[in-house]
Homo-oligomer: A and B are copies of this chain.
Amino acid sequence: MFMHSKKLQYPSKPNKPDALMARRMQEILGGQWGEMSVMNMYLFQGWNTRGNEKYKDLLLDTATEEIGHVEMIATMIAHLLDVAPLSVQEKAVADDPAAAVMGGMNPQHAIVSGLGAAPRDANGNAWTSNYIVASGNLLADMRMNVTAESQGRLQVARLYEMTDDKGVRDMLGFLLARDTQHQLQWMQAIKELEEKEGLVVPPVPKAYEVEEVNHTLYNFSEGEDSKKVVDGVNAPDGKPFNYEEVPKAFGEKPKLKPAPKEVYNSKPVDM
């Protein structure tokens, strides 16, 4: 069960409106790596965790914080859209250099959301749960979480460079810091889980794997730049990497049976 406080976790107000920045800011709200993604991903991972109460709680604590981040960015976008030029008068200012930016405004911010934030990315794509994962395997999922916080923080840093508005930068600076914490805490969890379950996800019975090919880098191109990554190097699990200059085809050319006639595929000529 959840509770709401009317205060924001951190102030989220720009010094002045900026409709183009509002559009860009949508990316970290409803984009692939935006706050909606981490919020929903941590919620589902937390709810699906079976046992492992400390990770379950860590996931749900962080998820709950992220709901508040979605709130902060939605609020920021609404502020950035204050006084956005909407009506026919905008044409009057077409000589104004400021008008140059106007074509770049997201038209749906006016027509669809009435100067509010939308659950969409910087190009207006709807948020979709295709962006997230909750697999039941904590190590696999924690790796996704570090990824999400890395990609997300990268986007925040890029946005930071795109504005000199003090208010916007202040909020982005807070997000940069929280993403630092989140990257570090998921790395910490990974460290513990790898010690317990091994590096390679998931641990399977030895007999399952075709072992001869599980430490080999195949060179699928002419030239051997990739060799530098593995040459004379032990893999993170301590065993040496191999490098094969010319990949071997273990299988033959496949032969599929013709389809039964009631499927109405083309009839084979040459079989």
Contacts and interface: CB of A to CB of B under 8 A. Distances in A.
Given A119-B132, A188-B229, A10 B61 contact: no
29 contacts: A4-B61, A11-B252, A27-B107, A36-B40, A43-B67, A43-B70, A43-B74, A48-B78, A50-B259, A51-B256, A51-B271, A52-B266, A54-B270, A57-B224, A64-B220, A65-B220, A83-B260, A87-B162, A88-B161, A99-B101, A107-B122, A114-B259, A136-B259, A137-B266, A139-B266, A140-B147, A140-B150, A177-B209, A187-B199
B235 A110 contact: no
Contact of A136 (B36, B97, B181, B263): B263
A17 to B, nearest CB: 9
Contacts of A236: 184, 187-188, 191
Given A1-B9, A27-B111, A208-B173, A184 B55 contact: no
Interface string A140-175: 100110110011011101111111100001101110
Interface residues of A, number: 198
Looking at A4, A40, A125, A215, the one whose CB has the most chain B CB atoms below 10 A away is A4
Contacts of A183: 199-201
A117 to B, nearest CB: 6
B57 A263 contact: no
Contacts of A57: 6, 221, 223-226
Contact of A154 (B151, B201, B221): B201
A118 B129 CA distance: 9
Contact of A221 (B4, B115, B170): B4
A229 B270 CA distance: 13
A204 B220 contact: no
A201 B91 CA distance: 27
Interface string A63-104: 111011011101100110011001110110011011111111
Nearest to A143: B147
